[in-house]
Amino acid sequence: MENTKIRVALAGNPNVGKTTLFNAITGSRQHVGNWPGVTVEKKTGVRTYRGYDIEITDLPGTYSLTAYSLDEIVARDYIIEEKPDIVIQIVDASNLERNLYLTTQLMELHTEMIIALNMCDLALERGDKLYIDKMQEILAAPVVQTVASRDIGIDELLDRVIEQKQDDKYHGREIGYGDVIESKVLEIEKILLTDPSLQKKYPLRWMSIRLLEGDGNVKAKVEKSPVSTAINQLLASIDQEEYEAEIADKRYVAINAIFPQICTRCNVRLTKSDMIDRVLTNKYLGIPIFLALMWGAFELTFAFATPFTDMIERAFVWLAVNVSSGLEPQWLASLIGDGIIGGVGAVLTFVPNIFILFFLLSLLEGSGYLARAAFIMDRLMYKIGMHGKSFIPLLMGFGCNVPAIMAARSIEDEKDRLITILVVPFVSCGARLPIYILLAGAFFGRQAGTVVFFMYVLGIVVAVISAKLLRSTIVKGKPAPFIMEMPPYRVPTLRTSIVHMWDNGAMYIKKAGTIILLGVVIIWSLASFPWGIEYGSEGSYVGMIGHFFTPLLEPLGFDWKMTVALVFGLVAKEIVVASMGVLYGVGDNPEALTTNLIADPSITALSALSLMVFSLLYMPCVATLGVIKKETGSWKWTAFAFFYGIAVAWIMAFLVYQGGKLLGY
């Protein structure tokens, strides 16, 4: 039987409408996972078209295949090692010159290529002229005009894929690099040819060019071969930086020769984007507008999410009560009611926030504003050892740390991203507010507002100091250089935003959910055993832990009850208040709790302040921990985040409590 499966890879620069095209081709039948061994997202989808199963893999957006970043390595290795049948390069028709740079590199990989000339409408609207036939001839590849956001040209693109698969009409073409480089390329090729195993795996001309450019990843591929000594000798004799610049130069020279033949660009001096930017990145207005927009996005998220969050919470409380009331024996009822249903509830209450926040973020990104946000804030962030792109995740942390950590994905540099993930938990999320309200309300009277404000400021200060500290110790180095395209402003597509929202929400439920559930069940077990004790009482394991850690927490002014409440707070910080209610025997009556707290001689205003500081800084919650594990892909960093948070919390609470005592409070 004839093989009717075609494997297609989508490649292209960022901001060319790659995701939109991918969604337009695959519809909703797509699968998100990770590339094996790395945290870069892998999206695949299958489209059945004219009897063929076209399997499409969305490669990470890259400007180049000269691998420096993880994205570039992933994209390139997929093309070389997995050998897809066809690579579609999506090219932004309104930004041809730079986009063709990637084309010149794809040619060298000897893959069957089709060019999807996307966003043609924008280019034509602007008055550009595109000569498609000439382009097909010069690039020796089929060229299809598409407008992915309006589903234009998709079928034609798929027709070309099938045509190209049936009889490869077009064969790639390569660019020349001039006599000096070409002679070196030949020299290296000759050496590489002596190892037949390399020739089977890689295009040798491509490999030679990469070696001349000083590509470490390709060098590593050669390292195991017997020819490596000869190669290293040859490379040591040349000035690699010169070659690197010269090769990039020659590619652009080639593009400059091609470009006027395939496109006449209408030079409008002041585009719409420019006019918008005159306002949005204005010296005086830029920052206020940015803050207002962020505040708006934030308000919108929580205004929309809160009713749903409340509904989910109430539904799960109802479910837990009703399911467990009919169950015997009692431990089973408790496991299902308090443990599993409570745990699933804790996972799901974050879902509305995550969905809405990611929807809004996707709108901001699709419109082109997110790049401006990083542009505006970079200077400030750089000063504290972070990248402009870290600002949005930090800001989102005020709502909920979980989506904030997920939002750090937009940061390409691994170190910048790690630091952001590690400091986000210090930003005071919405769940910590009830603790402040209860304690500050009970002990600080009219100063309560000031105390709560102080908590938020403290969170920011600790985050900033931590970023600086991490930069100078375990995550050494400066923030990555800011080299960023400012894409033109566009109207974002609804479909892309909805798919983005759905992907992130589903990912959270699937991946983080399992870890959160595990955490919840562990804490449930600690509160329920040994046999026969009352849930969460002094005699339970959690009570014992409370007593065990009391000597350690006593210098902070905490007794065993506070310690137990903090252990429960690991599930979600909202639970701190609820468990104090249980421990003081007042259930969820806030007024009675306030009265009992004030009456309890073991809590003073000072220890309440210390408790607030500790609650702010110690490990946020199981959900955040789950997301840290998911996003860093490392138990080591997850453990680090956990213990670092506790250490910082302990030190700060100690300073507050002991310092306060010294001052005579």
CB under 8 A: which stretch of 224-232, 244-252, 313-321, 532-540 binds other proteins?
244-252
Beta strand spans in 157-279 (E): 263-264
Q: Which of 52, 78, 101, 359 binds other proteins (CB under 8 A)?
A: 101
Q: Are 134 and 262 in contact (CB under 8 A)?
A: yes
Q: Does 249 bind other proteins (CB under 8 A)?
A: yes
Site for other proteins in 284-303 (CB under 8 A): 284, 286-287
What minimum distance in Å lies between the beta carbon of 240 and other proteins? 11
Q: Are 251 and 175 in contact (CB under 8 A)?
A: yes
Q: Are 380 and 440 in contact (CB under 8 A)?
A: no
Nearer to other proteins, 31 or 478 (CB): 478
Q: Does 242 bind other proteins (CB under 8 A)?
A: no
Q: Does 248 bind other proteins (CB under 8 A)?
A: yes
Nearer to other proteins, 90 or 404 (CB): 90
Q: Which of 225, 232, 281, 410 binds other proteins (CB under 8 A)?
A: 281
Nearer to other proteins, 244 or 313 (CB): 244
Nearer to other proteins, 286 or 581 (CB): 286
Q: Does 124 bind other proteins (CB under 8 A)?
A: no
Site string for other proteins, 391-420 (x = CB under 8 A): ------------------------------
Nearer to other proteins, 63 or 443 (CB): 63
Q: Which of 180, 220, 245, 279 binds other proteins (CB under 8 A)?
A: 245
Tokens matching residue 107: 């040619």
Tokens matching residue 608: 């309440």
- Which of 412, 438, 387 has its CA nearest to residue 593? 438
Site for other proteins in 37-96 (CB under 8 A): 63-64, 66, 68, 95-96
Tokens matching residue 625: 């921990």
Nearer to other proteins, 411 or 571 (CB): 411
For residue 457, give every residue at least 6 positions away whose Cβ sits within 8 Å of its Cβ, in sequence order, or none. Answer: none
Q: Does 260 bind other proteins (CB under 8 A)?
A: no
Name the residue with tokens 């009703």. Answer: 322
Q: Does 310 bind other proteins (CB under 8 A)?
A: no
Q: Does 548 bind other proteins (CB under 8 A)?
A: no
Q: Does 275 bind other proteins (CB under 8 A)?
A: no
Q: Does 219 bind other proteins (CB under 8 A)?
A: no
Site for other proteins in 473-492 (CB under 8 A): 481-488
Tokens matching residue 367: 């419109």
**What's the rounded Cα separation, in Å, for the pair 370 and 376?**
10
Q: Which of 31, 169, 314, 379 binds other proteins (CB under 8 A)?
A: 379
Cα-Cα-Cα-Cα dihedral sign, residues 151, 362, 349, 546 = positive
Tokens matching residue 129: 């002229």
For residue 77, give every residue at least 6 positions away whose Cβ sits within 8 Å of its Cβ, in sequence order, or none. Answer: none
Q: Angle 513-528/560-568 helices, nearest 10 degrees?
A: 150
Burial code (b: 16+ CB inside 10 Å, e: under 16) for 481-511 equals eeebeebbbeebbebbbbbbbebbbebbbeb
Q: Does 277 bind other proteins (CB under 8 A)?
A: yes
Q: Does 382 bind other proteins (CB under 8 A)?
A: yes
Look at strands 129-130 and 30-34 and give their pairing: unpaired
Number of residues this chain uses to bind other proteins (CB under 8 A) = 43
Look at strands 129-130 and 263-264 and give their pairing: antiparallel
Q: Does 626 bind other proteins (CB under 8 A)?
A: no
**What's the rounded Cα separation, in Å, for the pair 409 and 637?**
16
Site string for other proteins, 336-375 (x = CB under 8 A): -----------------------------------x---x
340: left (phi over 0), alpha (psi -120 to 50) or beta: alpha
Residues that bind other proteins (CB under 8 A): 63-64, 66, 68, 95-98, 101, 213, 241, 244-245, 248-249, 252-253, 265, 273-274, 277, 281-284, 286-287, 371, 375-376, 378-380, 382, 388, 481-488
